[in-house]
Structure 1
Amino acid sequence: MPKVLISDKMDPQAAQIFRDRGVEVDEITGLKPDELIKIIGQYDGLAIRSATKVTKEIIDAATNLKAIGRAGIGVDNVDIPYASAKGIVVMNTPFGNSITTAEHAIALIFALARQLPEADASTQAGKWEKNRFMGVEVTNKTLGLIGAGNIGSIVASRALGLKMKVAAYDPFLTPERAIEMGVEKVTLDELLAKADFITLHTPLTDQTRNILSAENLAKTKKGVRIVNCARGGLIDEAALKAGLDNGHIAGAALDVFAVEPATESPLFGTPNFISTPHLGASTSEAQVNVALQVAEQLSDYLMTGGVTNALNMPSLSAEEAPKVKPYLALAEKLGSLVGQLAHDNLTNISVEVEGSAAELNIKPLTGAVLAGIMRRYSDTVNMVNAPFLAKERGIDVREVRHDREGDYHSLLRVTVETSRGARSVAGTLFGNASPRLVELFGIKVEADLDGRMLYINNNDSPGFIGSVGSILGSAGINIGTFHLGRREAGGEAILLLSVDEEVPQELMRKIEALPNVRLVRSLKF
């Protein structure tokens, strides 16, 4: 039974979901780093919020950890590159608080439009400054949306319901999706020039850092109002204050800051500035949703192999996982085979699927192929860290999907480029369940890839099989199965033998010394 630790406070329903799905769970919150290090080694999964910091030291101590689930969007508290290198899946729950965050952005738009915080403070101070607080309507105003993903699209739908016009800047927004959302797709400069309100809904990356820089803020329409409920660092806060001070920017509302907790900021006290302490996800509904989702996602992964909202490997739904599982076994065996036989430096790896395999999610298959190949470099490799190992070694990975159906109902082909040229292996599933090799380096040969095997590349000649059998038999090594293939009579041939025990090096040298032998390799699956 897999075992999970919940190390941050979560809704108690999360623990019950684990138990209902057959996962043992401990709820131990408030652990100090050294306390967590002492116990983390016994767990297969770790469920966290923002309090637990999953550092390199904790990951090193987590010798059995397979997955980390973050109840929420931000994963700044997880060392994702190091977790990936250790083969640990890192998941978040990006949709559990989407509506909550979108509603907070809309609330701040209204607060800016009607100067609600200042009007409240004035009134409660005993003043009645009715003429001081002259607001603006949002109806018919243009909302500029920077980021039109999940949360941004919800904000757009709410804004359209308020009879606002919505212009969206997002490099990944297609014209078709823009039409579906009912928004105008624009460039960033076009958005800055026309928007009465700007709201940001994009992650913080090298491309988006200070996307509202001093230069871009200067391009905005005079009287613009700006809302950020996404990530601190998207706005140059000093330039924002300058724009508020000189009146070019009519108002700004930030729920996030470049440095948090933001206990002090030059923006504090600036007229027409509103701040909230990162409340985007702070509703009771959102807190329950993200806790339930992280429990479901971790349970799916640990019990069925389903991967949802992973940040360092392809997603694979719990429904897809049973269908893909036998193909994953085939992919890893083919990768292992070519990895054990192609000993030159690899420069390119191609993964091709055709027939029914072409209908599957190919990303997990590629991960499994890479895991098989990269095992030559590391004995702790898996589907999570294999792509990172390949990238570190400068190996280019390509995926090809063919609509055609050939001799087999489904086919998976792995081709590697080495200094000696391309080497290719192909396999299929027998009975939609059993992995089977069907082609090895261009030679048709059918074989199960299992246990210990002996690969012999030779020139086809009479009596060769008997010679090999005699050498192994005289040493007391039993042959389980043997599989033959050749290009043509008397030409290059391949012999794959399954053996009950490892073949010693001296016996392999005897086989290599036989006439017409080109290469002998010991294989293990």
Structure 2
Amino acid sequence: MVKVLISDKLSPAAIAIFKERGVEVDVKTGLTPAELRAIIGGYDGLAIRSATKVTKEVLDVATNLKVIGRAGIGVDNVDVKSATSRGVVVMNTPFGNAITTAEHAIALMFALARQLPEASASTKAGKWEKNRFMGVELTAKTLGLIGCGNIGSIVADRAVGLKMKVLAYDPYLTEARAVQLGVEKAELDTVLAKADFITIHTPLTDATRNILSREAIAKTKKGVRIVNCARGGLLDEVALYDALVSGHVAGAALDVFEVEPATDSPLFALENVIATPHLGAATTEAQENVALQVAEQISDFLLTGSVSNALNMPSVSAEEAPRLRPYMELCRLLGAFAGQLTQAKDGVIKRVLIEYEGAAAALNHRPLTAAALAGLLGPVMEGVNMVSAPVFARDHGIEVAEGSNERVGDYQSLVRISVTSGADTRAVTGTLIGNGKPRLVEIKGIKVEADFAPHMLYVTNKDKPGFIGRFGMLLADAGVNIATFHLGRAAEGEDAICLVSTDGTTPDAVLAQVRALPLVMQATTLTF
């Protein structure tokens, strides 16, 4: 039974989902870093919100951990790079609180426009300062969106409904999507110069940190109002304070701060600042939604292999998972075959081409390619898996390419992996037979039909009479029992391949004898 730790407060419904799915679950909230490190090694999955910090030190001792699920959007409390290198999938729930956060941004925009918190405090104090609180309308004003993804697009939709003009800065926003949303795609400087209201809806990354810097704030329209419900650190709080005091910025509404909990800030002293304690996702519906979603995602991954909303691994839907699983195993085995051959020769991989033909061409290739790279790099890189393999390949300068063709030849489906190392390129090809069993069908252009076995011996030789007899006798004399024996050749008298599965590992001394046989060009033991 797989085991999951919930280390932050989640809805009881999430716990129920784990138990209903047959996942053992422990709830231990408020753990210190040392306490978390002491127990994390016993868990396959970890469900968190924002309180738990999953650092490199935690991941280094999380020897069984396979998946981290964040109930919410931001994962800045997770060392995603370390998780990836450890082969741990990191998931979030980007849709569970999107509406709630977008509505909070709109609410703060209204509150800024009409000075609602100050007016409420004044009225409750027994004053009737009707002339003091002169607001502005949202209708016909320009809203500048910094980020137009899940949440930003909902804000845009609501703003268009309020008859606002919307300018959106987002490098990933296509013109077609902008038209669909009814917004105008614009560069950041244009948004800063023209917007009456600015709302921020981007994740916190190295590229977006301080996106509203002192220089950026100086470029904004005088009298602009700024809303941030995304992440602290996206704007320069000191520069914002100065701009508010000078009057260049008319008001700001902040739900997030660079340091949280934010219990003391110069911004709190300003009347034209509205501050809320990170309430973007704080609705009953959102809390329930993200808790249920993260429980489902972690359970699905651990039990079926489906991957949803992962930051460091291709998605695999629950419907795709059963269909992809045998192909992923085929790709892993082909990669392992090619990797072991390459390691036996020179071990330096420069380029990998993975081709999908027939039925395989119509599949989701990203997880298949990840599986192939995991198999390929496994013999030379310790601890590599589907999560870490693409990153390891990139970091080691290995060029990875894909190709697909729906044509059907001798087989309904084929996967071919070609590996270039030095001046050589080696290709291995496989298919699925029967009930999804992987099978080799071609090695280096030579047709060889063979099943994968735990222990195999791969030999290339010149096709001449007498070789098979000498080879068989050598193994027999050494006590190596042959389970299956597969042969192939390019043409009569030319290069040939002999692929043998054995009942155990072939000793190094026996392998040396095989290499010394006449006509043998290469001999390598393979394990799967």
For the criterion TM > 0.5, the same-fold answer is yes
Whole-Å Cα distance in 2 between the matches of residues 104 and 83 of structure 1?
32
Whole-Å Cα distance in 2 between the matches of residues 273 and 507 of structure 1?
79
Whole-Å Cα distance in 2 between the matches of residues 218 and 378 of structure 1?
49
1:58 shift after superposition: 2.5
Is 1:349–1:414's contact at 8 Å kept on the other side of the alignment?
A: yes
Whole-Å Cα distance in 1 between the matches of residues 233 and 31 of structure 2?
30
List per-residue Cα deviations over 1:94-146 (Å, max 9, x = no partner): 11111110000000000011011111122122221111111111112121111
1:20 shift after superposition: 1.0
Q: What does 1:89-238 align with in structure 2 at a 5 Å threshold?
A: 89-238=89-238
Query: Which stretch shows the higher mean deviation, 441-450 or 224-233?
Result: 441-450
List per-residue Cα deviations over 1:190-239 (Å, max 9, x = no partner): 22222211111011222222222222222222221111111112212222
1:420 shift after superposition: 2.8
Q: 1:468 and 2:433 equivalent?
A: no
Residue of structure 1 equivalent to 2:340 = 340
**Secondary structure of the corresponding residue to residue 468 of structure 2:** helix
Residue of structure 2 equivalent to 1:292 = 292
Residue of structure 1 equivalent to 2:317 = 317
Query: Which stretch shows the higher mean deviation, 485-494 or 43-52?
Result: 43-52
Is 2:76–2:204's contact at 8 Å kept on the other side of the alignment?
A: no
Q: What does 1:41-52 align with in structure 2 at a 5 Å threshold?
A: 41-52=41-52
1:354 shift after superposition: 2.2
Whole-Å Cα distance in 2 between the matches of residues 214 and 54 of structure 1?
32
Summarize the Cα distance change of 1:31–1:242 in structure 2 as closer, same or farther, 3 Å threshold.
Answer: closer
List per-residue Cα deviations over 1:415-469 (Å, max 9, x = no partner): 2221132222111112361111122122222211221111000111122212211
**Secondary structure of the corresponding residue to residue 14 of structure 1:** helix
Query: Which stretch shows the higher mean deviation, 379-388 or 397-406?
Result: 397-406
List per-residue Cα deviations over 1:328-375 (Å, max 9, x = no partner): 100000110011001221122222212211211111111111111111
Whole-Å Cα distance in 2 between the matches of residues 412 and 432 of structure 1?
17
Whole-Å Cα distance in 1 between the matches of residues 268 and 29 of structure 2?
34
Q: What does 1:44-63 align with in structure 2 at a 5 Å threshold?
A: 44-63=44-63
Q: What does 1:438-457 align with in structure 2 at a 5 Å threshold?
A: 438-457=441-460
Cα RMSD of the aligned pairs, angstroms, is 1.6
**Of 412, 416, 422, which residue of structure 2 is paired with 1:413?**
416
Q: 1:509 and 2:512 equivalent?
A: yes
Whole-Å Cα distance in 2 between the matches of residues 105 and 369 of structure 1?
44
**Identical amino acids, percent of aligned pairs:** 65
Query: Which stretch shows the higher mean deviation, 97-106 or 424-433?
Result: 424-433
Could you tell me which amino acid in structure 2 is paired with residue 498 of structure 1? S
Whole-Å Cα distance in 1 between the matches of residues 332 and 170 of structure 2?
37
Whole-Å Cα distance in 2 between the matches of residues 270 and 18 of structure 1?
46
1:62 shift after superposition: 2.2
List per-residue Cα deviations over 1:495-522 (Å, max 9, x = no partner): 1011111112222222222221101001
Could you tell me which amino acid in structure 2 is paired with residue 349 of structure 1? V
Whole-Å Cα distance in 2 between the matches of residues 63 and 214 of structure 1?
44
Whole-Å Cα distance in 1 between the matches of residues 58 and 242 of structure 2?
43
1:379 shift after superposition: 4.4
Q: TM-score, normalised by structure 2?
A: 0.96
Is 2:41–2:62's contact at 8 Å kept on the other side of the alignment?
A: yes
Residue of structure 2 equivalent to 1:36 = 36
Residue of structure 2 equivalent to 1:375 = 378
Whole-Å Cα distance in 2 between the matches of residues 52 and 84 of structure 1?
18
Could you tell me which amino acid in structure 2 is paired with residue 423 of structure 1? R
List per-residue Cα deviations over 1:62-111 (Å, max 9, x = no partner): 22211111111122222222222221111111111111100000000000
**Secondary structure of the corresponding residue to residue 267 of structure 1:** helix
Whole-Å Cα distance in 2 between the matches of residues 317 and 475 of structure 1?
49
Segments of structure 1 that go 5 or more residues without pairing to the other structure are none
1:259 shift after superposition: 2.2
Residue of structure 1 equivalent to 2:366 = 363
1:153 shift after superposition: 0.7
Whole-Å Cα distance in 2 between the matches of residues 260 and 294 of structure 1?
24
1:298 shift after superposition: 0.5
Residue of structure 2 equivalent to 1:14 = 14
Residue of structure 1 equivalent to 2:301 = 301
Could you tell me which amino acid in structure 2 is paired with residue 304 of structure 1? T
1:383 shift after superposition: 1.0
Query: Which stretch shows the higher mean deviation, 28-37 or 196-205?
Result: 28-37
Whole-Å Cα distance in 1 between the matches of residues 252 and 409 of structure 2?
61
List per-residue Cα deviations over 1:162-216 (Å, max 9, x = no partner): 2222121111111111111121111222222222111110112222222222222
Is 1:101–1:281's contact at 8 Å kept on the other side of the alignment?
A: yes
1:404 shift after superposition: 3.7
Is 1:335–1:372's contact at 8 Å kept on the other side of the alignment?
A: yes
Is 2:69–2:92's contact at 8 Å kept on the other side of the alignment?
A: yes
Whole-Å Cα distance in 2 between the matches of residues 406 and 145 of structure 1?
52
Residue of structure 1 equivalent to 2:404 = 401
Q: TM-score, normalised by structure 1?
A: 0.96
Is 2:74–2:203's contact at 8 Å kept on the other side of the alignment?
A: no
Query: Which stretch shows the higher mean deviation, 392-401 or 12-21?
Result: 392-401
**Secondary structure of the corresponding residue to residue 267 of structure 2:** coil
**Of 412, 415, 434, which residue of structure 2 is paired with 1:431?**
434
Summarize the Cα distance change of 1:51–1:494 in structure 2 as closer, same or farther, 3 Å threshold.
Answer: same
Whole-Å Cα distance in 2 between the matches of residues 35 and 232 of structure 1?
28
Whole-Å Cα distance in 1 between the matches of residues 267 and 198 of structure 2?
18
Query: Which stretch shows the higher mean deviation, 180-189 or 286-295?
Result: 180-189
Whole-Å Cα distance in 1 between the matches of residues 439 and 106 of structure 2?
57
**Secondary structure of the corresponding residue to residue 499 of structure 2:** strand
Segments of structure 2 that go 5 or more residues without pairing to the other structure are none
List per-residue Cα deviations over 1:284-315 (Å, max 9, x = no partner): 11111111111000100010001111121111
Query: Which stretch shows the higher mean deviation, 55-64 or 305-314?
Result: 55-64
1:29 shift after superposition: 2.1
Whole-Å Cα distance in 2 between the matches of residues 470 and 196 of structure 1?
87
Whole-Å Cα distance in 1 between the matches of residues 232 and 447 of structure 2?
58
1:403 shift after superposition: 4.0
Residue of structure 1 equivalent to 2:496 = 493
Q: 1:353 and 2:366 equivalent?
A: no
